Amino acid sequence: MPNSKLEFDSAISVTFNAPNPATHYKNGDEFDWDWAIGKKFANGLELGIAGYAYQQLTADSGSGAKLGPFEGRVFGVGPHLVYNTHLMHRSVIFNFHDFQEFDAQNRFTGNLATLTTTIKF
């Protein structure tokens, strides 16, 4: 299609967790990388693939950590669908992901589907 283009999005974050004084539990600090590659079409649709990597950088700790000093990890990948449109004179973005998780360590694994809506004011 003449009005289509390839797009790559990526975000990296690090979360530093503080202890919870009520439970005496501190989640370990976390690293997260989210990415998506998609083909954008002139009608506002984008189709592609997306994924994420989650790695706990430090162990859970505190007297409330009854199950021990776990460090979790999980990866996910799956289809990615974005639709950009206008509703009531506002730009609206619908974003759908369906991640199949794999290579989990000290975490549950499964299928994670998300649908988000962004309205630009």
**So where are the chain's domains?**
5-18+27-120
pLDDT at 107 (0 to 100): 87
Give the pairing type, strands 90-105 and 73-87.
antiparallel
Averaged confidence pLDDT in the chain: 92
Q: Please compute the mean of the pLDDT values over residues 59-81 and round it to a whole number.
A: 90
User: Which pTM does this prediction carry?
Assistant: 0.81
pLDDT at 4 (0 to 100): 63
Rounded to 5°, angle at Cα 56 from 109 and 98: 35
Give dist(CA 34, CA 19) in Å, integer.
Answer: 26
pLDDT digits (tens, 9 = 90+) for 84-113: 999 989 999 999 999 999 999 988 889 999
pLDDT at 22 (0 to 100): 92
